[in-house]
Amino acid sequence: MKIVDLKDIIGSEREVEGPSWTSRRLLLKSDGMGFSFHETIIPAGAEMTLWYKNHLEAVYCVAGNGSIEDLASGQVHAIHDGVLYALDQHDRHILRGGTEDMRLICAFNPPVTGRETHDADGSYELVED
């Protein structure tokens, strides 16, 4: 069994600052669970275009508000505490922070290794292979 305390992740190499998000990786590929598990903070008013071309992602909002725009359809969906979005088609999307910072709990399949880079378009590229 593993126990991970968020306070041990904050300020460690498992806390990653993105262009306009902060992500704390509680589980990475090396933890052997078959998925990675993150908490991501999206500041109020932030806007970012993201595309995880190599990963599926499920995201569950536990605080704050914002929206996600599906760039394939143009549909915009409100996000608030209790809403999950699943990027099951490697969906290109725009994430927008609302009036209160969003706290998102995310799972990635395949698991993020922690060595990926984020391309300008927000997609992951595995650095190795």
Ligand X SMILES: CC(=O)NCC[C@H](N)C(=O)O
Binding site for ligand X (CB under 6 A): 16, 18, 21, 23, 25, 38, 40, 50, 59, 104, 106, 112
Q: Smallest distance from the beta carbon of 3 to ligand X, in angstroms?
A: 20
Q: Smallest distance from the beta carbon of 102 to ligand X, in angstroms?
A: 8
Q: Smallest distance from the beta carbon of 50 to ligand X, in angstroms?
A: 5
Q: Which is nearer to ligand X, 50 or 83 (CB)?
A: 50
Is there a cis peptide before residue 111, judged by omega within 30 degrees of 0? no
Run of H or E including 85? strand 84-87
Q: Which is nearer to ligand X, 83 or 112 (CB)?
A: 112
Closest CA to 111 of 44, 46, 55: 55
Closest CA to 58 of 33, 88, 81: 88
